[in-house]
Every structure is written in C-alpha cells, then in structure tokens.
Chains A and B, each alone.
Chain A
Amino acid sequence: MVRFTDVFKSYENGTKALRGVSFEIADGEFAFLVGPSGSGKTTIIKLLTGEIAPTDGKIIVNDYDLTNIKFSKMPYMRRTLGVVFQDYRLIEDKTVFENVAFAMRVVGASSKEIRRRVPYVLELVGLDTRTRRHPQELSGGEQQRVAIARALVNNPRLIIADEPTGNLDPARSLEIMMLLQKINELGTTVLVVTHEKELVESFSKRVIAIDGGKIISDGMGGYYNYER
C-alpha cells in the first residue's frame, strides 16, 4: 500500500521536481505511472524507497510512515519492497543464481531457505535453465528477468519498476510486462513507471499520469495523453 499526501520535493539546486502530489495505491493493485522525461517519475520512486526525503507532505509505504521513519527502521521498510531498474543493476561476477541468492543472504536468510526459494523464483521468471550463467552471457530481457527475480525473492508486498523496458525491444518489453502482470496476479502490488505509450495502451490497467511535478490524470484504461 502506498499513500502520497500533498508531497513536494525540491532538490538542493532548487529544481522543484514535485509540486503537491497525492495518490494512493491499494494492496493487490497494478498501476502505471506515466509522464514525459523530467516530469518527476523517478523522484516519486526514490521517495518511495527512502533514497531521498520529501520537502513537504506525507508518504506512507506498507504501513511505514516515511516522513518520520527511524534510520534504523529503513532496511526493514525496504524489505517490503522489490525494486527493478532500467539498467538491471546485476552484479557482473556473480551467476544468475548468486545474484538472486545475494538479496536473500544480505537480509540474513539461511542457506537452506536460499536453496529452496531461489529456484522457485527463477522458474517463475522463466530462467530455470540459465541459473549458472553470468549476466553478460544473457540478453537484455533475460537480465531484466533476473532483476525481477531478485526483487521478488524476499517476498515483498510491492514491486516497483522504474522504466523496466527502457532498454528492450517491443517484443521483450511486452514479455516483461506480462511477467509483472503475472506477479501481480499472484498477489503482489505492482507499480510500473514508463513513458512508452503503446505498452501502456495494450494493458487495461490504472494509469497515473504526471507532468511538471503534478498529477494530471489518474484512472482506469489504456489511454493517457500527456500533451494535455
């Protein structure tokens, strides 16, 4: 569950990235966050993950109030999230299996749990035949699926993907979106950031549109118009 209430964000250099943003995403929802480049999408994601703090307003993520969260609580808030980036962010010298296992190990999972859980998520994302490969031996679509498996492996309540298909061709992009939809159907809340109009239009999902740091439309349907 995510709730933004009248959130403002100004960067140190004075850029006003968000100017009063309010929206709510309920548990189990699938939502797109769309808008042109520089409209403030990544800023919203960074606020959600606690990487940056809002200048004003209130942010609640999975029952954690990020406006006055203790520094020591931040890791536990992050364990309720799975984050996926455009550039995959995999560790090059670890295998597919190790990349996914790493996310479990660093939150203190036992080897036994890791051996049980990692093959399951790798099969879920369709990479069960690639577990011993290294990232550079995989295609972009496959690398992004490793990143999704890593985001998923600690069983988060919310998956956040910031332009996950930005480096992929349309066919691979569609596959990644289908995978995220499947994950959503298994019960995880999903928020996908994109500026690819066609992709959004091919799904009948909630679309939150942002421009100039403000929400300009929010509703169901595969259509949005950010020229408006």
Chain B
Amino acid sequence: MKGNRFVYYVREGINSIFNHGFMSFASVCIIVACLLIMGSFTLLALNVDSIINSMESENEIMAFVDESYSTADAQSIKPGLEAIDNVSSVIFVTREQAWDDFLDTYSDPGRLGELGPETLRDRYVIYVDDISIIAATRDAVSRVDGIADTTVHLDIAKTLVKIRNIVTIASIALVAILFTISLFIMANTIKLTTFERRDEIAIMKMVGATSTFIRWPFVVQGLILGLLGSLLSFVMEWGLYTLFSDKLMAGAELSLLTVIPFSVVSIPIFIAFTVVGLGVGVIGSLLAIKNYLKV
C-alpha cells in the first residue's frame, strides 16, 4: 500500500512536469541561472579570501633600525616588537643578509652593485595576524625606540580587504535575492499545475483524500525540478570554473595568484546546490498548494 502510493506520487509528479513542459523548462532554467550566479559569487568570494589569506602570511611590515644602533643593540628590541598586538612573528635581518638577498634578487644590479652592505640598515620583518588592522600595527611598531622607519604595502592590504568585504556582502545579498526569485518562479510553475487541476483537487477533497495525499504529487514535482536544476548547474559550474581558472592560470604564470582547484570545493558546492535546489522545489510547491488545502 505504501509502495503503491509512492508510485502514484512519483507518476503524478512526473506527469505534471511533462504536461507543463515549457514552465518546467523555465523553472529549471531559472534555478540553474540562480545557482550559477550564487555559485560563481561564492567561488569568487572563496578565492578572494584564499588570496587574502596567502597575502596575509606574506604581508609584512619592514621596520628599519636606527643607524646609530649596533647589531647587538638592534637585536635587543625584538621582544618589544613581539609584544605588540596582532604581531604573529618577528625576524631580524642584518644589513649583510639584506645585501645578500638584494644581490640574489637582481642578477644584474647595475651600478647599485658597486655599493655595499653598509648602505643598508639592519631591519625587522614583522608578520601580522590580521591584515585589516595592519596600519595600526605599523604605528605601534614605529613608536618602538630604535625603529627609525617602517614600510608596508598598505594599499594592497586595504584593497584586498575592501574587495573581500564587497564580495562577501554582494554574495550574501545575491544569494538571498536569487533564492527568493527561484522560489517565486517555482511556486508559480506548480501553481499553474494546481490551477489546471483544481477540479481534480476539489474532487479529491470531496471524496476524503488527506491533505498529505493531495500535496505529495506537487512536492514530488517540485523536488524533481529542483534536483534537475541543481545537478545541471553543478555540472555547468564545474565546467565554467575549470575553464575560467585554466585561462587565468595560463595567462598569469608569474603572478602570485593561485586559484582554488574545483576538486577542493566540489563536495561543499554540490551539497549546497542540492540543498538549495531541493529547498526551492519543496518550499515552492508547498507555497503553490497552500491555498487549495485550506477547506
């Protein structure tokens, strides 16, 4: 009996999908479009975040020690730097090491190569935990006795944080808006079916069908459309993302940018797409049938 009913629900649900081929197609397309936009923005946000995280570990404050300090004196201020908030690690670099690094970096230093380590200053390389407050950390570093000068790539840090915030807010807003739109389209597709079958629904109620029984075929209809939409958009997202990241990586071999491989995020994305697709399908169908079940 239970199995019998299950077959009935699924058959009725599938029939409705084919009886309203165009609207079914349209609602799947809308779900695909919404999920693609949602997914792309989420992936963008994830990538910006991962770039910021990698930059955070690379982003450093360069603090130059006063020239009047001997190397031993210079080394003695290290604990003071380490005590500053947001400082994760501090590395002391002598002017000789700095000079060697300089020579390593530039295979042809030109006339600068005629100079020597004495033209450079001892310095500290300071790493921070949170890039967004690096400016305050830098100020604190400058106030330490013996620090003559500091440099930091503030602009990059600021820009990245700004981008991350914008992308995060935009993704959340887009997901909310698109979810609502998909829900609306889905509810209307199924409403079309319920409208066409309103006489049948009235007869079902008259002869004593339970609300659950009346509801299920429409829920199945929504479930199938939602699932179809989420599977299609997952495959498309996969293709688009791979295509796009390949292009980006190929075009920028030297760049520091690394794109998160799809395989790393595929399972969470798949789960999210399925949940959103099924959610839109089920909630949409329940909204569509609500008014018919009141009596």
Contacts from A to B (Cβ < 8 Å): 49-51, 72, 75-79, 81, 83, 89, 91, 102-103, 105-108, 110-111, 150, 154
Contact = CB atoms under 8 A, between A and B. Distances in A.
B110 interface: no
A83 B202 CA distance: 12
A106 B202 contact: no
Interface in B178-209: 199-200, 202-209
Q: Which of A72, A103, A154 has the most CB of B within 10 A?
A: A103
Q: Closest 6 CB pairs between A and B?
A: A79-B208, A78-B208, A106-B209, A103-B207, A75-B208, A75-B210
Contact of A75 (B1, B5, B199, B209): B209
B199 A107 contact: no
Nearest to A51: B295
Interface string B260-295: 000000000000000000000000000000000001
A89 B207 contact: no
Nearest to B213: A106
B208 A107 contact: yes
Contacts of B211: 72, 75
Contacts of A91: 199-200, 203
A152 to B, nearest CB: 11
Contact of A78 (B4, B207, B213): B207
Contact of A89 (B1, B203, B213, B214): B203
B69 interface: no
B259 to A, nearest CB: 54
Contacts of B209: 75, 106-107
B119 to A, nearest CB: 88
B244 interface: no
A185 B87 CA distance: 96
Given A106-B207, A107-B207, 7 more contacts: A49-B206, A72-B210, A77-B208, A81-B208, A91-B203, A103-B203, A107-B213
Contacts of B202: 89
A51 B199 CA distance: 15
Contacts of A108: 1, 5, 213
Given A89-B199, A91-B203, A105 B8 contact: yes
A79 B207 contact: yes
A111 B208 contact: no
Contacts of B200: 91, 102
17 contacts: A49-B206, A50-B295, A72-B210, A77-B208, A78-B205, A78-B206, A83-B206, A89-B203, A91-B200, A91-B203, A102-B203, A105-B8, A106-B207, A106-B208, A108-B1, A108-B213, A154-B207
Given A91-B199, A91-B203, A111 B4 contact: yes
Interface string B201-239: 011111111110110000000000000000000000000
A51 B211 CA distance: 14
B192 to A, nearest CB: 17
Nearest to B2: A108
A156 to B, nearest CB: 9
Interface string B4-21: 110010000000000000
